[in-house]
Structure 1
């Protein structure tokens, strides 16, 4: 029986990063993962294979097509007869995925990590080690890390299949749907709806919550809704879906909105109402692994489960279901196992929605800060007053900084605009070190750059923005 110091169950962002860091720290490491793509083993989990990476590839392709149609003429670039080749977009998307998943396999070889394709299941304890069924073969490990991720949440009225798809299915449409329905106005719904809207679909978004993007700062949500509606996305909030029926040609959705029953017809329907922990086949019941009422694996602050020597990280333990959060947990846990002080600061995890414009935030919203009884000051600066944004021809949105009124400590950053997924990093770094808006405002930013919007927003918290 093969024996390892660390055995990771799951090869997504949490699992593969934990395996790499554990190997770097000198542990004999293996990773068992059952994910398959195109009938072959493929490391990287949902994120690399059918989530984060392919969706961003399609977002980029579709945005380029929209710019070609609507924005290039302003730059003096005239193009006629532009068309969409969905097959080529999917081919490019697949190539991007191949490079990254192949890169993970290379890193496993480089770090001498044993990769086992198949299901991993906890079997029994053997002294201070665990026996794990890894793809039908029992192996022994001193430390077992559960990193099995999450799965799309299905709507009971609309099980996946046929014209009803989740995120992975929405990334493989072979042609642009005429009418596309999206249930859920969260991150996935907005991103995938945006892809096909840009390529020509008529997109209707149905959301059960009474308002738009209620997890974001109110100012950002208000601006985002205005811009997305202007683009042609048709939003309906506070809806109650009562019936979903599909036939050979499409899907009919019946819902109530403001006490009126409506039936809408779609060629395709994307269901994006969140994700649930993936623990099927793990053997949790058989070995007594504790799960909470929603099915997440219970852990303490050191990612320890109720079973000695068994740990869990990533989506399967809940919290922010984000790849970068999962990766940091993988690093932190591996370092803890090595006796180091691994740590993740959950207060400054950045959130990003890769629409156009992008939306990004970290820390407290203004509403959350006030609910905590904090005395705050805010600063806001628009991209319309930024030279680089004007040069790009995209002046939508703004950056907003929230700081403590007494200490000036940065409490939150909220942005909507072009490239804000890249801009948020510097503010998160300063927040990680407990920095202030003055620290950000006094930092020299290159000119002309989009990042000057962040500096000016920090200056605005003290009412001394220079270019507004």
Structure 2
């Protein structure tokens, strides 16, 4: 029987990063993955492939506007969807191979198969060839991730009524893609296929898209995507989804009781994700799982069984790859006797549309609900020289700061390169910077980052320089 100090079930961003950190700290480490490729949902059917398609479709869209820059392209510009999907897969394969390299480099033993508990210190690995083996481990980390959620009355045939997994490998561009759910995943994939020529309609139960973010971002993103051609039906509850041949009919009802009927050739069901613990046999180890399917943990991500921990999408909190990575690192360091911490308020959220959307800290809605007296400063991208030079003038940066102390409480932005710009806000807030601190830091000119400085100036004393 193989014996290890730490065994991790699941090789997603949380799992494989945790394995690497455990190995760095001197633990004999194993990782169990049921699929042939490492990297979990994020790498194989989530973050990486969706960004590859977003990049490819963005290049195609930009090509339509080359004439604005004095670049004339002769002949028809055509989409080769098969090649685009193949490139996406090549990116996934290369990245997965990179994870395998890191496992080998750090001398981490990889088991391919389904990991399930025999008891609190023994895990059974059920392999695809029908064989199995038991491994013993002092510590076990559950990192089994999540799966797409569904509504109880919707039948996912994975051909025309699909999840994000199938949307990443379509063989044709939909004529009309009806998306159920206006969250991050639905909006990103909707923009991919809208750029490629699909009509895209989004049906959202809440009163705005990306409802977890600051309302000003939802409003601006809606405005920009409408301008690009996307249609929205917010405050609509889906009643039924029916397929007849290649036609999908989605019926939804608004708050007034009025019903709409949308016909498309594909419907993407994107109503969130749920923790995945199927086949884990957590009860054999005595691990508690909540009614919502989440593994219950304390502030140290320790389950009710002292040597078993859980991280990532399978525990409470935002289902984000970088949150899982931080948790995986934290658990490894706790096991080594260190005292790491995570400030969950400073885990950024990003929507990788164009313009990009990024946020960290408190929203205005949260500050109002908590009774915090705050001040706000915003700066539009259209006032930036770099934005005008590149033609990316949509969006703004907004900084929220405490009215008394000037400490930055939240930063919310939509515009070009915001997925990268948000790191500046995270860094500043980690060191409890004030809006004035940011406003007094030199920002290179001309850059998109100048919008952060200007928003800080606006929040400090309403003294932005370029508006």
- If the TM-score is normalised by the length of the shorter chain, which range does it land in? over 0.9
Q: Give secondary structure in 2 for the equivalent of 1:255.
A: strand
Aligned to 1:24: 24
Aligned to 1:52: 47
Aligned to 2:110: 115
- The 1-side partners of 2:174 and 2:352 are apart by 21
Would the aligned equivalents of 2:208 and 2:219 in 1 still touch at CA under 8 Å? no
Matched, 1:68 2:68: no
Would the aligned equivalents of 1:44 and 1:104 in 2 still touch at CA under 8 Å? yes
Task: Give 2:160's match in structure 1, choosing from 159, 163, 166.
Answer: 163
Deviates more, 1:279-288 or 1:303-312: 279-288
Q: Give secondary structure in 2 for the equivalent of 1:47.
A: helix
Task: Give 1:240's match in structure 2, choosing from 220, 237, 240.
Answer: 237
Aligned to 1:428: 426
Structure 1 position 434, deviation (Å): 1.2
Aligned to 2:119: 124
Aligned to 2:462: 463
- The 1-side partners of 2:172 and 2:329 are apart by 40
Task: Give 1:378's match in structure 2, choosing from 373, 376, 390.
Answer: 376
The C-alpha deviation readout for 1:140-189, integer Å capped at 9, x for no partner, is 00000000000000122223222111111001111101011100000001
- The 2-side partners of 1:184 and 1:355 are apart by 16
Q: Give secondary structure in 2 for the equivalent of 1:145.
A: strand
- The 2-side partners of 1:330 and 1:234 are apart by 39
Aligned to 2:129: none
Matched, 1:104 2:102: no
Aligned pairs for 1:244-259 (under 5 A) are: 244-257=241-254, 258-259=256-257
Aligned pairs for 1:198-237 (under 5 A) are: 198-237=195-234
Would the aligned equivalents of 2:250 and 2:263 in 1 still touch at CA under 8 Å? yes
Would the aligned equivalents of 1:277 and 1:318 in 2 still touch at CA under 8 Å? no
Structure 1 position 334, deviation (Å): 0.3
Structure 1 position 211, deviation (Å): 2.5
Aligned to 2:395: 397
Q: Give secondary structure in 1 for the equivalent of 2:326.
A: helix
Aligned pairs for 1:38-437 (under 5 A) are: 41-69=36-64, 71-79=65-73, 80-125=75-120, 130-135=121-126, 136-161=132-157, 162-257=159-254, 258-437=256-435
Runs of 5+ unmatched residues, structure 2: 127-131
Q: Give secondary structure in 1 for the equivalent of 2:122.
A: strand
The C-alpha deviation readout for 1:95-132, integer Å capped at 9, x for no partner, is 1111111000000000000000011011114xxxx011
Q: Give secondary structure in 2 for the equivalent of 1:223.
A: helix
Would the aligned equivalents of 1:2 and 1:140 in 2 still touch at CA under 8 Å? yes
- The 2-side partners of 1:373 and 1:205 are apart by 34
Aligned length: 458
Structure 1 position 52, deviation (Å): 0.3
Q: Give secondary structure in 2 for the equivalent of 1:94.
A: helix
4+ runs deviating over 3 angstroms? none
Structure 1 position 78, deviation (Å): 1.7
The C-alpha deviation readout for 1:24-63, integer Å capped at 9, x for no partner, is 000000000112xxxxx10000000010000000001111
- The 1-side partners of 2:268 and 2:209 are apart by 18
Would the aligned equivalents of 1:297 and 1:312 in 2 still touch at CA under 8 Å? yes
Q: Give secondary structure in 2 for the equivalent of 1:455.
A: helix
- What is the Cα-based RMSD across aligned positions, in Å? 1.0
Q: Give secondary structure in 2 for the equivalent of 1:390.
A: helix
Would the aligned equivalents of 1:181 and 1:269 in 2 still touch at CA under 8 Å? yes
Would the aligned equivalents of 1:251 and 1:266 in 2 still touch at CA under 8 Å? yes
Q: Give secondary structure in 2 for the equivalent of 1:205.
A: strand
Q: Give secondary structure in 1 for the equivalent of 2:239.
A: strand
Q: Give secondary structure in 2 for the equivalent of 1:253.
A: strand
Q: Give secondary structure in 2 for the equivalent of 1:281.
A: coil
TM superposition score normalised by structure 2: 0.96
- The 1-side partners of 2:260 and 2:234 are apart by 13
TM superposition score normalised by structure 1: 0.96
- The 2-side partners of 1:78 and 1:434 are apart by 49
Q: Give secondary structure in 2 for the equivalent of 1:55.
A: helix
